[in-house]
Structure 1
Amino acid sequence: MDDALRSSSNLSRKVVSVAAGEAHTLALTGDGCVYSWGRGMFGRLGIGSEADALFPVQVKCDICSESEEKRLKFVGIAAGAYHSMALADDGSVWCWGYNPYGQLGVNGENAVVPRMMEHFLGLTSFDSVTNGSETKREAPLKACSVKAGGMMSLAIDNLGTLWIWGNCPQQSSSSGESGFSLVSSFTPIPVWDFHGHTVVKVACGNEHVVALVTVGETYEGEDLVCYSWGNNNHGQLGLGDRESRIHPEIVETFNQHSPWAIYEVACGAFHTALLTHKKRPNEKLESTCWTFGLGENGQLGHGTSQSALKPEPVNELPQDAYLVSVDCGLFHTGVVSSAGDVWSWGMEKGLGLCPDARFTGTDAGDALSPLRITGPQEPRFHDPVQVVCGAAHTVLVANDGYKLWSWGRGRSGVLGTGQTIDFFAPTAVMWPPLADDFKDQGLNNVTKDDNLESKESEEVAEIEKRLSSAMEEMKLLQSKLSMMERYAGILHGSIFGKPFTEEDIPSSLRDSGTFDIAKEWEDMLESADRSKLIRLELFYRNMLSGVKDKHMKRRIQEIIKECVPSTQGK
């Protein structure tokens, strides 16, 4: 196989970006494909239906199904609560899912497959959307990044202008400066407050927006100023009060004179998180996570359930950790360091699981300070790329993009594990997707032939061979599983006097894949009635008696063997 084919194969497996909505996840691969999984309601998965997907499925649109030369390559993704976005390399923006507020950029119903927004097509510089001032430059206008949150959608174009549509803060004050309202618009509105500056990054929550904007016209590395606007009922704008804003205002902690340089921003429903480092670092590059807004579930990580009206550092994170990614869920927050350490805090031990989580007793409760999330084999994750938080789940991209981990609420397949159960510890997402895995293995065995038809025939034959092999392996596994089920049933019946059923699987094993035999034994004895306790006592008394009898017999045999040689020698 030639280098180009091998390189393409690797890129198809490499995840370069992920995005999480309320109960769905998007993944973007290095070869420009988008995959989705989780809850399918409203068509947010973009797979042509509202069905749930328990593991990653490729998102396809009409133009994507054409020849490879014309195939649309995506370079960016974003997820709102119930809708999704993707940015193509030609600057076109594609949206799908829920659309009651026009967040798909079209005036119409929900979409179960990607629909291209037509607004950015044909626009040149600022001529078509002038605000009354003279335009000094002209260039083809196209989106270069997309973002979504709640019922809002945003895009930054190649001139650094921010556009916003959906259920967004009103940009004109017809009702006076003190009034705040949201306006529904399917037509992107430019944020003229930043005219003459470049918007570099943006994030949005349910009803607020935070943008990182240059001091001058162009981006020079560490010259970003933080602006915020929208609903501020919980202090999520970081402006020191609870007054909402319809126009962007500077968060003074991160103004142009601040010693901190911002490099990441994320918004939860009603809180905000930022990552900064010192503008003039010494030998060590200091990295700090700042949070503000609603804190009643501990999502700020300040050690309390108090809200914060101004940015405050999350002091309990290690001082020597350089944080590479941060994201906010509905009521929880997660960060990952360059060394592969992951921390989470907020609702239900930082998992965002909401009050119906299966934690009980001392295990229950919100995490008011960062909790370390450890991997199944090692405490750290190798080569971390990004962490994202949905309403009640978290996804981590590690191994330089070749492995995905997820944890939290699993219903509707939101964790991408092929199951619908909750996982309180990281578990591997089914990546790469099974179909792609077979396809890729088939391609790895294709030889260079003169005839394209011959190559395709060999590829199909190889794939069929591997599918057949996989089916045989599945049959063998099913046979082993059946034998183990029979063994477990016989053993369970001998001990408890009744057939083994799914309800008899210990809850710890069913929910998290771990099994604490001492705790399960204690819980079983605690819940057993008198008749069950008597039966267990009789069973184990007989078993113990048998063991003692066998031990005694073997000891007698050993004594006889020791004595016989000694008597024969006399």
Structure 2
Amino acid sequence: MASKTVVIAWGSGEDGQLGIGNSEEKEWVCAISALSSSNVCSVVAGSRNSLAICDDGKLFTWGWNQRGTLGHPQETKNENVPSQVKALANVKIIQAAIGGWHCLAVDEQGRAYAWGGNEYGQCGEEPEQKEDMGKPVRRDIIIPQRCVPRLSVRQVAAGGTHSVVLTREGHVWTWGQPWPPGDIKQISTPVRVQGLDSVRLIAVGAFHNLALLDDGTLMAWGNNEYGQLGTGDTQPRSQPIPVQGLSDLTL
């Protein structure tokens, strides 16, 4: 008999991100009863919203929904009980990520999806016709839509206002606004990150990125204001560089 999973939550609940039916702050762990009948295999916590993936591929979301981050039209500002993302009910989701105010997911067939805030093109919306190139992107994507349809995706990662995917070939693609607002660029069309091959795993912060290669090398690029790239300085990097000081470690 398979063991039963219990999803527990604690901390700030002002946006309903704990999923316990209210917006209270919890200093002790508590079970999310709405997920008690679902066999959850992974959870993702954002700053204001949360999601859970079940072993059958169902995706549940809860918390803040003003930008479409829950994957369905807004009924209330916040939703404090998990609900299934109906738009993805017919696919088996295997992994997902939460960014600043957008979300990404990938199914078992390698198809990626995006929804939520899109003012920087972070959901990857592409104009349908060339004459629409000057048309502003939609600010919010309320219903999950396919992104990077030409790629077979293994993993998705979401930053503050940009998105990154790892393909099954070991390549990394990115789009959106990779730098803090100020040097604003809307790049809704995904581009491949040059200099990265045989990537095993990706991770993304608000405005910086990491890629672990098959040989154990850790590469970093992006904003470096606080030294988050591990380069010994605070200079940003637009291209991936090896993180120094890890040569004696097995990653």
The TM-score, its normalising length taken from structure 1, stands at 0.40
> Would you say the 8 A contact 1:32–1:74 is kept in 2?
yes
Q: 1:252 aligns with which of 184, 194, 209?
A: 194
Query: In 2, distance between residues paired with 1:100 and 1:234?
Result: 22
Query: In 2, distance between residues paired with 1:177 and 1:305?
Result: 35
**2:153 matched to which residue of 1?**
199
**1:269 matched to which residue of 2?**
206
Q: 2:86 aligns with which of 113, 118, 137?
A: 118
Query: In 2, distance between residues paired with 1:243 and 1:47?
Result: 38
**CA displacement 1:435-490 (0-9 Å, x = unmatched):** xxxxxxxxxxxxxxxxxxxxxxxxxxxxxxxxxxxxxxxxxxxxxxxxxxxxxxxx
Query: In 2, distance between residues paired with 1:178 and 1:309?
Result: 26
**CA displacement 1:232-256 (0-9 Å, x = unmatched):** 3369xxxxx98542111111111xx
Change (3 A) 1:231 1:91: same
**2:235 matched to which residue of 1?**
306
The one-letter amino acid of 1:187's match is I
Q: Within 5 A, what are the aligned runs for 1:19-58?
A: 31-58=4-31
- What are structure 2's unaligned runs of at least 5 residues? none
Query: In 2, distance between residues paired with 1:181 and 1:233?
Result: 18
Query: In 1, distance between residues paired with 2:138 and 2:217?
Result: 33
Query: In 2, distance between residues paired with 1:96 and 1:50?
Result: 11
Q: Which has the larger radius of gyration?
A: 1
Q: Secondary structure at the match of 2:239?
A: strand
**1:164 matched to which residue of 2?**
114
Q: 2:43 aligns with which of 77, 87, 107?
A: 77
**1:293 matched to which residue of 2?**
222
The one-letter amino acid of 1:155's match is A
Change (3 A) 1:234 1:86: same
1:206 Cα deviation after fit: 1.3
1:316 Cα deviation after fit: 2.0
> Would you say the 8 A contact 2:221–2:241 is kept in 1?
yes
1:183 Cα deviation after fit: 2.9
1:179 Cα deviation after fit: 7.6
Give the structure with the higher percent helix.
Answer: 1
> Would you say the 8 A contact 1:180–1:231 is kept in 2?
no
Q: 1:230 aligns with which of 157, 176, 181?
A: 176
Give the structure with the higher percent strand.
Answer: 2
> Would you say the 8 A contact 1:209–1:230 is kept in 2?
yes
Change (3 A) 1:180 1:300: farther
Q: 1:97 aligns with which of 63, 75, 82?
A: 63
Change (3 A) 1:288 1:182: farther
> Would you say the 8 A contact 1:77–1:147 is kept in 2?
no
**1:60 matched to which residue of 2?**
33
Query: In 2, distance between residues paired with 1:43 and 1:232?
Result: 28
**Identity fraction in percent:** 29
1:171 Cα deviation after fit: 1.0
> Would you say the 8 A contact 1:234–1:293 is kept in 2?
no
Q: Secondary structure at the match of 2:217?
A: strand
CA RMSD of aligned residues (A): 2.5
> Would you say the 8 A contact 2:222–2:237 is kept in 1?
yes
**1:184 matched to which residue of 2?**
140
Query: In 1, distance between residues paired with 2:186 and 2:213?
Result: 25
> Would you say the 8 A contact 1:60–1:114 is kept in 2?
no
Q: Secondary structure at the match of 2:190?
A: strand
Change (3 A) 1:264 1:113: same
Q: Secondary structure at the match of 1:119?
A: helix
**1:487 matched to which residue of 2?**
none
The one-letter amino acid of 2:25's match is D
The TM-score, its normalising length taken from structure 2, stands at 0.87
> Would you say the 8 A contact 2:173–2:191 is kept in 1?
yes
Tell me the number of residue pairs that the alignment of Structure 1 and Structure 2 aligns. 242
Q: Larger RCO: Structure 1 or Structure 2 (Cα < 8 Å, ≥ 6 residues apart)? A: 2
Query: In 1, distance between residues paired with 2:154 and 2:193?
Result: 16
